[in-house]
Structure 1
Amino acid sequence: MRYLFCSLDSPGFLFPALAIARELRRRSHEVAFVTGPTFAHFVQDSGFERIPRGEQDGKSFQIEIFAQPLEMVRQARHVEYALGRFHADVLVGQQLALGPLLAAERQGLPVASLGLASYIFPVTDGPPGPEMLARRAASLHDGLLARFNEAREAIGLRPSSPRYRDTPLIGDLLMVRSVPELEGDVASLPERVRLVGDCLWEPPEAPPDPALEQWLEEARASGLPLFYVQPARDLEFCDFWPLVVEALKDMPSRVVAAIRKPGVEEETFPPHFLVRRHVPQSSILRQAHGIIASGTTTVVLGALTHSVPALLLVAGGEQFSTSERCRRAGAALSLLRRSDDDLTPRSIRAAVEELLATPSLAQNAGRLREALARVDGPARAADLLEELGHQRQRVPRANAS
């Protein structure tokens, strides 16, 4: 069978797609990719073809503008160009990459989407009710659907106005990167939704980084708590980093931060901080006492698979649903950012101290680590994709493996 993976141009989205693609290849299926050019070398290093956007290649599947109708149309055109070179049986997209859904409909192909660490849309039809999480899920879904319909009209498809449980935004199969112990009431999810574990994957380790290894060794020897900080990719959307610096500048601790901001490594920070644009996440999490992050999928799942509790500073998007799942499971604390007054150095410092003083957070994170470890995510996802390819239609949950 032939699978065309359609990935946003970001390691956090590309790497789990590569994990599943490698499992499909192990089962003797053919796999190719469409994604932007920035991280294409990871596709090529894994032995897969990355098909360009056209005769003149260019940017595509950009995470920063995933919700713009023009970007959805660009993605659809990219996929359709790729199908002219690679005649796929199944498209495998991602929940925030909506262009493949358009291409699949136009080409009459089954389409699966690789989801996030939680189901982010409403689970029941009708008004969302009083619960804040349900209202936010409805708002997120309705906003994306409106833009998706703009893209549909732009390429000659009729707008869609379904009930939430019949939403077109999840394709024929949505593979959520979670387990029942984290997601909660699985029976309430739409039948097209499956849980497939974390599906985390990192490329082979780069050459040793002596400076980082020495810093981590000194951190271990100090006996002080180590925190890993990772704000959202879009710093303008949730730039809590200066607040964290202020909160922890005098706290006996060690802090490693990955800040995707040009020139950040040349800035001056307290001596117990190590700040880089990128650090290998797993190498830090092996000895971290906690993470301070925005609640995005990769860092949350990375923390849980290392039994590390989290302080999640939440501002929007998937962060609300994922942080709430972690909070309900007893593995995280969360602070919502509804205005500039909600997050302060004082509130962050108090939450960090509460995290250190609450051993049950790490214990519950360990329980989730065990649950995630029981699931071979790429294998489960590959099983579902094979079933979708054979059935070429939605598979009832009762028949799912």
Structure 2
Amino acid sequence: MRYLFCCMDRVGDIHAALAIARALRERGHTVAFVTGPSLAPLLRREGFERLARGEPDGPSFDTSTCALPMEMVRQVRHIESALKHFPADVLVGQQLAFGVPLAAERQRLPLGVLGQMAWIFPRAEPPPPGQRDALTAHAVELYEGLLPHYATARQACGLPPEHRAPQDSSLLGDMVLLRTVPELEADVDSLPSRVHLVGDCLGLPREEPDAALRDWLDEAAANGLPVLFARLGGATLPPATWPAFVEALRDEPVRVLALAPPSAASSAPAHFLVRPHLPEAFVLERAWAVLSPPTSTAALGALTHGCPALLLLVEGQHLALEYPAVADACVRSGAALRLALPSSGPEPLRLREAVRALLEDPAPRAHAQRLQRALAAFDGPARAADLLERLGTQPGPFQRHGSSL
């Protein structure tokens, strides 16, 4: 069978897809990718073909513009161009690649959607606005904000208008592979019936650390100092976050390994090590805790290594995609604390107190290690490959109920 993976142009997203693609390839299937050109070297190293957008080539799966109709249409054109060279039997999209369902519908191909760590759309008919909790309100805002753009893209692609409940939307494809486990997902039965749990499918690469990083971590361990792995390199945090973070931990008895731009190193204290790139699997095996915005990659990276997390969520951040849902799942599980940041940036005192609470309380670490065991037992890529194989032989909406998976 031939599978065409249509992936967002982000390294964190592509690794999850690669984990499943490798599982399918080991079973004798053929896999190719459509994604941005920046990921071509990685795909080449993994032995997978990347199919270009055409002439000129360029990105078609940019997260910052994923909700725009023109971006959805661009994705459709990229996929349909690729299908001329790689006649796929099944499309595999990602939850933020909103153009993939349109291409699947136009080409009448079965579609599996690789989801985030948590469900981002409404689960059922939501209560009236005044009776919604914050998470439900965000899910409704995200979905209803997306619908007009999706409708415009449908029209541009020559597809009829769609009037469906969120649980039946074509955005779900024929199945959604949600990257979580029952221990993290409190109410599986409230999810749309096309949603299947497939574990973390994290796929972090095994990269060897350089000698300086290895020595730095060995020294921290020898001195009995906890290592805080801070992922602060993204564009979702206020510019003032780094100065506040440095001020908060300047005199704390920890070692801080920060994934941040090189410019941040000039203001870092002696017990900080700042790198623009890190071998995350190696670092997470040695970290005591993680500090990060609540992305699926960061949260699952922490949990699969038994690390508790302090999750930074900017208040009022416009359509923060999966962030509120991921933070809610991690905090509800007991493995994380959440710190709401004003748009101006964090207050050093509150940040220091939150880090101390995470490091001094044994409960979040115990819960993270419990979830680590649950995630390890799930064998996500194999489970996802099983479902995608069945989708290829039994096309159509693939309901969770009645399935052993």
- Identify the TM-score tier after normalising by the shorter chain: over 0.9
Whichever residue aligns with residue 387 of structure 2, its letter is: L
Q: CA separation in 2, counterparts of 1:133 and 1:299? A: 20
8 A Cα contact 1:52 1:78, kept in partner: yes
1:292 aligns with 2:291: yes
User: In structure 1, how many angstroms separate the alpha carbons of the residues matched to 2:296 and 2:240?
Assistant: 18
Q: Is structure 2 residue 325 aligned with structure 1 residue 324?
A: no
Query: How much does 1:222 deviate?
Result: 2.1
* Contact 1:264-1:277 within 8 A present in 2 as well: no
**Superposed, which structure 2 residues align to 1:189-200 within 5 Å?**
189-200=191-202
Amino acid at match of 2:292: A
Q: 2:156 aligns with which of 151, 154, 157?
A: 154
Q: 1:265 Cα shift?
A: 5.7
Distance in structure 2 (CA, Å) of the matches to 1:121 and 1:238: 29
Determine the C-alpha separation between the residues in 1 that align with 2:353 and 2:305. Answer: 24
Q: Secondary structure at the match of 1:12?
A: helix
Q: Distance in 1 between matches of 2:140 and 2:233?
A: 22
Could you tell me whether the CA contact under 8 Å between 1:110 and 1:389 is conserved in 2? yes
Cα distance change, pair 33–112 in 1 and its aligned pair in 2 (3 A): same
Residues 87-134 of structure 1 deviation map (CA, whole Å, 9 limit, x = unaligned): 111100100111111110111111111011111111111436321111
Q: 1:302-361 CA deviation, whole Å, 9 max, x = no partner?
A: 1111111011011332111111111111100001235447x3111111111111221011
Q: 1:260-290 deviations in whole A, cap 9, x for unaligned?
A: x4x4265331111111111111211112111
Alignment of 1:200-211 (within 5 A): 200-206=202-208, 208-211=209-212
- Which residue of structure 1 aligns with residue 176 of structure 2? 174
Q: Secondary structure at the match of 1:323?
A: helix
| 2:371 aligned with 1:368 | yes
Alignment partners' CA distance in 2, 1:195 and 1:338: 34
How far the C-alpha of 1:397 sits from its partner, in A, is 1.4
In the alignment, which residue of structure 1 is the partner of 2:317? none
CA distance in 2, matches of 1:251, 1:318: 31
Q: CA deviation at 1:42?
A: 1.4
CA contact (8 A) 1:173 1:194 kept: yes
8 A Cα contact 1:198 1:301, kept in partner? yes
1:32 is paired with a residue whose SS is: strand
State the distance in 1 between where 2:263 and 2:160 align. 46
1:22 aligns with 2:22: yes
Query: Which aligned pairs between 1:1-400 and structure 2 lie closer than 5 A?
Result: 1-127=1-127, 129-206=131-208, 208-231=209-232, 233-235=234-236, 240-259=241-260, 261=261, 263-264=262-263, 267-315=266-314, 316-337=320-341, 339-340=343-344, 343-400=346-403
Cα distance in 2 between the residues matched to 1:232 and 1:151: 32
**Local SS of the residue matching 1:28:** coil
Q: Residue 66 of structure 1: CA displacement?
A: 1.7
Q: Is the 8 A contact 2:207 2:282 kept in 1?
A: no
Is the 2:35–2:50 Cα contact (8 Å) retained in structure 1? Answer: yes
Structure 2 alignment gaps of length 5 or more? 315-319
Root mean square deviation of aligned Cα:
1.7
2: CA distance, partners of 1:309 / 1:78? 40
Q: For 2:297, what is the secondary structure of its paired residue?
A: helix
Q: Give 2:82's aligned amino acid.
A: A
SS at match of 1:393: coil
CA–CA distance in structure 2, aligned partners of residues 203 and 172 of structure 1: 29
Distance 1:193 1:338, change over 3 A: farther
Any conservation in 1 of the 2:233–2:259 contact (CA below 8 Å)? no
Point out the more displaced range, 234-243 or 363-372. 234-243
Q: Matches of 1:236 and 1:32 in 2, distance apart?
A: 34
Equivalent position amino acid for 2:388 in 1: L
| Aligned AA (2:366) | Q
Instruction: Give the TM-score normalised by the residue count of structure 1.
Output: 0.95
Q: CA deviation at 1:144?
A: 1.9
Deviation at 1:241, TM superposition (A): 2.9
CA drift of 1:236 comes to: 5.5
Specify the SS of the correspondent of 2:397.
coil
Change (3 A) 1:399 1:40: farther
After the TM superposition, which of the residue ranges 293-302 and 163-172 deviates more from structure 2?
A: 163-172
